[in-house]
């Protein structure tokens, strides 16, 4: 072999090693981004009965939570939306709210995943399908505590999280101080006026 061919071979080997090292360094970042809850969008509409919200989010479990599912542990996810009169924000007195808790469970006998709520129950063949359905909330009615006005500024907040208080006590103890069990979205907060029947409110998550 000539010196030129040897140099080209060494250069190719170094480049391959560099690409391999770069891939290894980026891999943990990719995995970290794949876990958690991210709110994509939220909308609010005026209906005859009051107001309804719809939410799109992405929910991804880590290996610890998937193993808990396989052991028969039910994972409860809570979605909470609050509406507060900005004039009384310091009191944090909700004028309207929506709070929904849905359980995710795996049945080894049928190899299916189930979403359970007091008003509905759904079954899925894969965890991916179950999580996609879990992240899509449609036309959920808000509970209105006080009279709402169209010309008032309100502060809305939204958060989705894994409710560890509903898990068996041994798992609650294990979850204390462990990031493996901490699954929550960022708390979104924004100012808004109430939507009209002609025009609904929509916001993209961030």
Q: Is-contact 114 127, C-beta < 8 A? A: no
Q: Is-contact 175 183, C-beta < 8 A? A: no
Domain of residue 65: give its range. 36-204
Residue found under tokens 């509905």? 120
98 and 160: one domain? yes
61 and 95: one domain? yes
Q: pLDDT of the chain along its 206 residues, tens only?
A: 554 555 554 445 454 554 444 444 444 433 334 579 999 999 999 998 899 999 999 999 999 999 999 999 999 999 999 999 988 766 778 899 999 999 999 999 999 999 998 778 999 999 999 999 999 999 999 999 888 888 889 999 999 999 988 887 777 666 666 678 889 999 999 999 999 887 887 877 65
Q: Write b or e for each residue in 48-79: b if 16 or more Cβ atoms lie within 10 A of its Cβ, otherwise e.
A: eeebbbbbbbbbbbbeebeebbeeeeebbbbb
106 and 140: one domain? yes
68 and 160: one domain? yes
Q: Considering only CA atoms, which of 90, 80, 85, 94 is closest in space to residue 144? A: 94
30 and 65: one domain? no
176 and 92: one domain? yes
79 and 59: one domain? yes
9 and 60: one domain? no
pTM for this entry: 0.78
Distances (CA, A) of 16 to 1, 7, 11, 24, 39: 21, 14, 9, 12, 38
57 and 137: one domain? yes
What count of other Cβ atoms lies within 10 Å of the Cβ of residue 15? 10
Q: What is the pLDDT of residue 58?
A: 97
What count of other Cβ atoms lies within 10 Å of the Cβ of residue 96? 22
**Domains: count for the chain:** 2
180 and 170: one domain? yes
């Amino acid at each position: 072999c000539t010196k030129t061919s040897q140099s080209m071979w060494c250069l190719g080997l170094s480049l391959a090693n560099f690409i391999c090292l770069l891939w290894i360094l980026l891999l943990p970042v990719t995995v970290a981004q794949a876990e958690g809850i991210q709110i994509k969008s939220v909308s609010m509409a005026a209906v005859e009965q009051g107001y309804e919200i719809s939410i799109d989010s992405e929910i991804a479990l880590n290996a610890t939570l998937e193993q808990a599912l396989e052991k028969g542990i039910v994972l409860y996810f809570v979605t909470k939306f609050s509406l507060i009169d900005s004039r009384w924000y310091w009191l944090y007195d909700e004028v309207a709210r929506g709070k929904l808790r849905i359980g995710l469970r795996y049945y080894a006998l049928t190899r299916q995943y189930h979403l359970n709520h007091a008003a509905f129950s759904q079954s899925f063949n894969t965890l991916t399908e179950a999580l996609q359905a879990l992240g899509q909330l449609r036309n959920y009615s808000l509970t209105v505590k006080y009279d709402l006005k169209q010309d008032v500024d309100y502060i809305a907040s939204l958060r989705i999280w894994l409710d560890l208080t509903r898990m068996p006590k041994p798992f609650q103890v294990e979850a204390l101080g462990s990031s493996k069990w901490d699954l929550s979205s960022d708390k979104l907060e924004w100012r808004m006026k109430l939507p009209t029947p002609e025009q609904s409110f929509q916001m993209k998550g961030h």
